Amino acid sequence: MSYTINELELKAADIRASIIKSLEEAGSGHSAGPLGLADIFTALYFDVLKHDPKNPDWDQRDILILSNGHCVPVRYAAMAHAGYFDVDELMTLRRFGSRLQGHPERLKLPGMESTSGPLGCGLSQSCGIALSFRMNNENHRFVYCVMGDGELDEGNVWEAAMLAGKEKLHNIIAIIDRNNIQIDGPTETVMPLEDLQAKWEAFGWHVLSIDGNNIEAVIDACAMAKAIVEKPVMIIAHTIPGKGVDFMEYDFHWHGMPPNHEQAKIALHDIRTLKGKIRSEHQ
């Protein structure tokens, strides 16, 4: 089923609302990153990825690796809205015994391709999967790896970058959530990353830079990435942390903090206002 950009923007708003509700219910978790990533995960699950929620182990599916696992509330919300499980289950986030833990567990949830917790591991996992596709002559399958910019402080990211560049793993499409924050403050204060595009190009990657809160731009960048056949592709997606909730936007303190009841009410009001604006812009 194909969706219009308007429909996708409304889905992203619904995903944001689900993130807020699940974090409020859990009383712990990360807010800013998941909200900022909602447009990217909407584009992936409702347009870009080749996948089947009714057959999550389909042997022709694309693979999505979430490297910055603490942002998993956005993946859970996107998966629920895509039909992998009931949306009501989102209210079990971080509960003891829940399938929806604070970091994803591969064996707990159908359609979850990797367990993540220690930052910096996702690109290495993606390299292994991409190499297996090559060995099995499955070059039509792609590995998408979503990464945080703060985790680029981890050295094993750059080891994987070297390997992917050397092996010309063109079926890796990585996406950096370039929101410029990490738990201790702005990335450029904690550990400066720029010139980020030049760094990845030096490792043999084709680099695209986009507005990560523009769903159409995300879809177009992924389509372009599939056409690059001689090297892996890095999409630097510039996003607003806390996107859609005014009092959270750009504030690094919301990196690892959930909203309380009153804050959640305000956040959900902001998201409803956003949905109204989306509808009026497309009338």
Q: CA torsion, points 132, 136, 137, 138, in degrees to nearest 10?
A: -60
What is the C-alpha to C-alpha distance for residues 154 and 68, in angstroms, rounded to an integer? 12
Q: What pLDDT sits at residue 125? A: 96
Neighbours of 62 (CB within 10 A): 18
Find the farthest-apart pair of alpha carbons in the chain and give their distance in angstroms, rounded.
53
Average pLDDT, the chain: 96
Q: Report, as an integer, the average pLDDT of 116-138.
A: 94
SS3 per residue for 196-262: HHHHHHHCCCEEEEEECCCHHHHHHHHHHHHCCCCCCEEEEEECCCCCCCCCCCCCHHHCCCCCCHH
148-157 pLDDT, tens digit per residue, is: 999 999 999 9
138 Cβ contact list (under 8 Å, min separation 6): none
Give the CATH number, domain containing residue 56.
Answer: 3.40.50.970
Domain span at residue 100 reads 5-281
What is the C-alpha to C-alpha distance for residues 156 and 159, in angstroms, rounded to an integer? 5
CB 136 within 8 A of CB 108: no
What is the token pair recorded at 118?
Answer: 């220690």
User: Would you say residue 282 has pLDDT above 90?
Assistant: no
CB 174 within 8 A of CB 234: yes
Percent of the chain whose predicted confidence (pLDDT) is above 70:
99
**In angstroms, how far is CA 103 from the centroid of its own chain?**
13
User: Would you say residue 78 has pLDDT above 80?
Assistant: yes
Domains contained in the chain, number: 1
Percent of the chain whose predicted confidence (pLDDT) is above 90:
96
User: Would you say residue 163 has pLDDT above 90?
Assistant: yes
pTM of the full structure:
0.96
What is the token pair recorded at 260?
Answer: 């309380």
Q: What pLDDT sits at residue 1? A: 67
Strand partners, 211: 238
Give the H or E element holding residue 178. Answer: strand 172-178
User: Would you say residue 274 has pLDDT above 80?
Assistant: yes
